[in-house]
Chain A
Amino acid sequence: MSTAVEATHHDAHHDHKPSGIGRWLFTTNHKDIGSMYLWFSFIMFLTGGAMAMVIRAELFQPGLQLIEPQFFNQMTTVHGLIMVFGAVMPAFTGLANWMIPMMIGAPDMALPRMNNWSFWILPFAFIILLGSLFMEGGGPAFGWTFYAPLSTTYSSDSTALFVFSVHIMGISSIMGAINVIVTIMNMRAPGMNYMKMPLFVWTWLITAFLLIAVMPVLAGAVTMVLTDKYFGTSFFDAAGGGDPVMFQHIFWFFGHPEVYIMILPSFGIISAIIPAFTRKRLFGYSSMVYATAAIALLSFLVWAHHMFTTGMPVFAELFFMYCTMLIAVPTGVKVFNWVATMWKGSMTFETPMLFALAFVILFTIGGFSGLMLAITPVDFQYHDTYFVVAHFHYVLVSGAIFSIMAAAYYWLPKWTGHMYDSTLAKTHFWASVISVNVLFFPMHFAGLAGMPRRIPDYATQFADVNQITSIGGFAFGLSQLIFLWVVIKCVKGGEKADAKPWEGAEGLEWTVPSPAPYHTFEKPPKVD
C-alpha cells in the first residue's frame, strides 16, 4: 500500500469556510457534501428504524392489535426502501465523498457541483416518498421489490409518486457514481497507480460501475410499472402478451447487483480497519481486488435465484444456482484474507476493530444462509419465509450497517479532530452486537418452521420466537441512540486527535492533520 513521501501541510487561509446556510446549499466541498450525506443517511436510518419498530411491535403478539394490515404492508415497504436507498447507499456515498479524495491525493471530487446536486436531490426524493404515506389510500404497500401486479393492478393511487421519487433517487445515485468513478480514474495523485489504491477506493470504483450499470434498469422497471398502472400498457400482464414474471427478471437484474452495491464498499472499509488494528499489511491485496471484480461480474449472472419458485425451466434454475454458489468462492477469498491478516498480528480491540470483527463473523453467517438459499430445491422451502428475512438482515445490518459504524468510528477523529468517548462507543458496540443477534438469529428458526414474511399476523406457535425477536429489535433500535450521542459528543469536543490516531493505520488520509483541512491537497502529494 502507499505511503506519502511528503506530507502536505496547509496554511490557515486555505481553511476558510463560507458561513451560514449558504455554505451547505451551494457547497462544492467534498467534505461538506460527505457530512451532509452521512447525516442524511443517519436521519433516514432512524426513520426506517422507527418503521421497523412499528413492525416489531405489531408482531410482538399473534393477532392484529396495533395497526391495520394495509398499514403494516406500507411499513415493510417503506422501511425497505428507506433503508436501501436512504440509509445504506447515501452512507456509502458520504464515506466515498469524505475519504476517496483524501485517499488518492485529490483536492476534491472530480465534478464538485454535480456532487452537490446529487446530494440535494435526495431530501426531495424522500419527502415525496414519505409524503405519499399520508395520501388517501396510503403509500406504497407492495414491498420494496414492488412486484407486479401488486404495484400495478392492486396498488394505491400514490404509486405514481413512488415511481417518480425512485426516478430522482436513481438520478442522484447515477450522478454520484459517475463522480466517484471519474474521481478515481482521473484524479489520482502521481504515483498512485491502480494497484496502490486503498481497497476502499477499489471497492467503490467497482460499486460505482455497478450503480451506473443497474440504476437505469431500475428506472426502466419503475417506468414500466407506471405505464402499466396508468397508461394501459401490459408489460406485466399476460392478457396483453406480457408477463408478471418479466417484472421480476427486470427488477432483479437491477436488484442483485444492488445488494452488492450495498456490501462491496463494506469490504473496502473492513480491509482498511483490520490491518490497522492488527498492525500488519492486508493479506492478499491483489486477490482482494480480483475477488471484488469477480463478485461484481457474477452479480450480473445470478439474479433469478430470487425467483426459483416462479416456474422457470429447470435449466435456468440450475444455471442460476451454480452461478450463485460460485460467488462463495471470491467471498471466501475475502473472509480468509481478513482472517489471515489477523493471524499472528498484534491485535488491539478499539471500537472500529470490534465492529470489523463482528462484521466478519456475522456477515459470514449471512453469507452461509445465502448459500443455503442458493440451493434451488431447498429454496422452495425457504422462499418467502423469515429465513430470507434473517439472511438479508444479517448481511445488511450486521454486514453493511456494522461496516458503516466501523467506518464512522475509524474516521471520526479525522473528521472532527476529536477522539470520541470510547467507553460509550464500546457500550454502543456491545449493545448492538448482542441485540442484533437476539433480533435476527431467531428469525432463522421461525423461517425454517414455515413462518411467512410480510404478514402482520402469525400462527400461535411462532409467538415465543417473535417475542424474543421484537425485544431484540427494540434493544437494537435504542442502542443506535447511543451512537448518535457518541457522534454529537465527538463533534462538540473531546480529546484532541493526532493526524494519525491509530498506530497501525496506513494511507494518505492520515498524513493530513485532524480535523482534515477544508481543502486537503492544493497540489498533488507524491506517492511512491
Chain B
Amino acid sequence: MAEQQSYYVPASSPWPIVGAVGLGLIAWGAGHTVIDMSKEQDGYGSTVLIAGLIVMAVMLFGWFRDQINESMKGLYSDQLGVSYKQGMSWFIFSEVMFFAAFFGALFYARVIAVQWLGGDSNNAMTNEVLWPEFVAHWPLVNTPGGTETQAMGWYGLPAINTIILLVSSVTCHFAHTGLEQGKRKQLTAMLGVTIILGMIFLYLQGAEYIHAYEELGLTLDSGIYGNTFYMLTGFHGLHVTLGTVMLIIMFLRVLKGHFTPDNHFAFQATSWYWHFVDVVWLCLFVVVYVL
C-alpha cells in the first residue's frame, strides 16, 4: 500500500484521444478490408486501415516519448511504478485468457467434436447420418467434408524453435540481472542476443509456414486441425513480433543510457512479456505439435 506521500496525477495528454481515433480507423478499415476482400472489390477499407495503423504508430511513439521524458525527469512516484507493474501483470493475464479461448477450441474439437462426428459417446447416429465414412482421428488430416492435408511433425523446425525461444528467455533473464547489478555490458550483449533469437524464431516460423503450405498442403482452411494450428501459432507469432519490437526499443533505450538498477519498469514489463510469450509457446509446442 501507498506510503504517506503526496499523490502524483499525470497531466492531461492528447495521446489517448489520438489512440481512440487510431483504433476506430483500424476497426472500420479492417472491417471494410475484409468485406472488400470477400466481395473481391476495391474499396477504401485498406486505405483507412493503413491510416489507422499510422495514427496508432504515431500515438504509441508520442505517448511513450512523453512517458519516457516524464520518467527521466523523475516525475513519477513509487506508487505509480507499482500501478504500472500491476497493470502490466493484469494485461498479461488478459492475454493468457485470449490464448485460452483458442486452446479451449483445440481441446473441444479434438476431444469432443471430432470424436462425436466419428460416432463416439451416444453419437452413433450423428456419424451414420452425416458422414458415415468418417473415422475420428487426430491430427485431423481427413475432414468429414473431405479435405485432405498432412500433419506438422514436432521434430525439425518446431523443436529447434522451441530451443531458440527457451534460450532467448534465459538470455532475457540475464539481461535483466545485468541491469539490476549494473553490469551494462552484460545487459547490452544479452539483450542483443535475445533480439536476434527472437528474429531467428520468426524467420524459422515463416519457413515452417511455407513448408506447411507448399509441401504439406496444410493451410488455414484445411479443417479444424489447420485452423487451430494456424490461429494458435499465428497469434503467438504476432506476440513474438510485438515482443521483439518492444525488445528493440529497450535495446535502443539501453544504448542511450536509460534505466537504472532500481528504475526500469519498461524493461521489466518487456521481459515479463517475453517470458509470457515463451510459456505460451511451450504449451503450444506440447498440445499443438507433440501430442
Contact = CB atoms under 8 A, between A and B. Distances in A.
B94 A235 contact: no
B34 A116 contact: no
Contacts of B140: 241
A217 B101 contact: yes
A212 to B, nearest CB: 5
Contacts of B13: 26, 28, 113, 116
A175 to B, nearest CB: 9
A112 interface: yes
A124 B27 contact: yes
A235 B220 contact: no
Contacts of A27: 12
Interface stretch (B14-22, B192-200, B244-252, B266-274): B14-22
Nearest to A156: B35
Interface stretch (B112-120, B169-177, B181-189, B208-216): B112-120
A187 B220 CA distance: 46
Interface stretch (A223-231, A282-290, A504-512): A223-231
Interface in B66-102: 79-80, 82-84, 86-87, 90-91, 93-95, 97-98, 100-102
A243 interface: yes
A234 interface: yes
Interface in A97-125: 106-108, 110-114, 116-117, 120-121, 123-125
Interface stretch (A66-74, A157-165, A269-277, A352-360): A157-165
A524 B101 contact: no
A108 B224 CA distance: 47
A240 B223 contact: yes
Contact of B2 (A182, A224, A240, A524): A524
Interface string A446-482: 0000000000000000000000000000000000000
B108 interface: yes
A216 B9 contact: no
Given A186-B82, A243-B109, A160 B101 contact: no
B62 to A, nearest CB: 12
Contacts of B16: 26, 113-114, 116-117, 120
A120 B17 contact: yes
Contact of B31 (A26, A161, A519): A161
B17 A26 contact: yes
Nearest to A22: B12
A185 interface: yes
Contact of A238 (B28, B91, B113): B113
Nearest to A219: B98
Contacts of A226: 34
A117 to B, nearest CB: 4
A391 interface: no
Contact of B130 (A179, A229, A238): A238
A235 B7 contact: no
A234 B32 CA distance: 22
Nearest to B223: A240
B227 interface: yes
Contacts of A245: 113
B27 A168 contact: yes
A480 B274 CA distance: 50
A113 B63 CA distance: 10
Most buried by B among A25, A123, A183, A243: A243
A41 to B, nearest CB: 17
A313 B122 contact: yes
A117 B145 contact: no
Q: Taking chain A's interface residues, is the majority helix, strand, or loop, or is none over half, making it mixed?
A: helix
A106 B6 CA distance: 11
A395 to B, nearest CB: 25
A181 B86 CA distance: 9
A128 B9 contact: no
B227 A234 contact: yes
A233 B94 contact: no
A217 B100 contact: yes
Given A128-B24, A240-B224, A524-B4, A182 B10 contact: no
Nearest to B140: A241
Interface in B101-160: 101-102, 104-105, 108-109, 112-114, 116-117, 121-122, 130, 140, 143-145, 147
A524 B23 CA distance: 36
Contacts of B220: 227, 231-233
A212 B31 contact: no
Given A111-B87, A239-B145, A160 B79 contact: no
B87 to A, nearest CB: 5
Interface in A234-291: 234-235, 237-243, 245-246, 249-250, 253
Given A233-B227, A240-B143, A243-B112, A160 B104 contact: no
Contacts of B30: 160, 164
Contact of B28 (A161, A174, A189, A523): A161
A219 B6 CA distance: 39
Given A190-B2, A241-B117, A241-B140, A124 B112 contact: no
Interface in B14-65: 14-17, 19-21, 23-24, 26-28, 30-32, 34-35, 37-39, 63
A509 to B, nearest CB: 17
Nearest to B39: A157
Contacts of B82: 186
Given A213-B97, A238-B113, A523-B6, A230 B17 contact: no
Contact of B6 (A18, A183, A213, A522): A522
B117 A238 contact: yes
B98 A240 contact: no
A168 B24 contact: yes
Nearest to B142: A241
15 contacts: A26-B17, A120-B19, A128-B27, A167-B27, A182-B83, A185-B86, A187-B79, A220-B101, A221-B101, A230-B34, A240-B144, A240-B221, A241-B143, A243-B116, A245-B113
**Interchain residue pairs A-B with the least CB separation, the first 4:** A220-B101, A124-B24, A232-B221, A239-B145
Given A117-B15, A185-B86, A235-B105, 6 more contacts: A26-B13, A116-B13, A120-B16, A190-B4, A220-B100, A231-B220
Interface of B: 1-4, 6-7, 9-17, 19-21, 23-24, 26-28, 30-32, 34-35, 37-39, 63, 79-80, 82-84, 86-87, 90-91, 93-95, 97-98, 100-102, 104-105, 108-109, 112-114, 116-117, 121-122, 130, 140, 143-145, 147, 220-227, 231
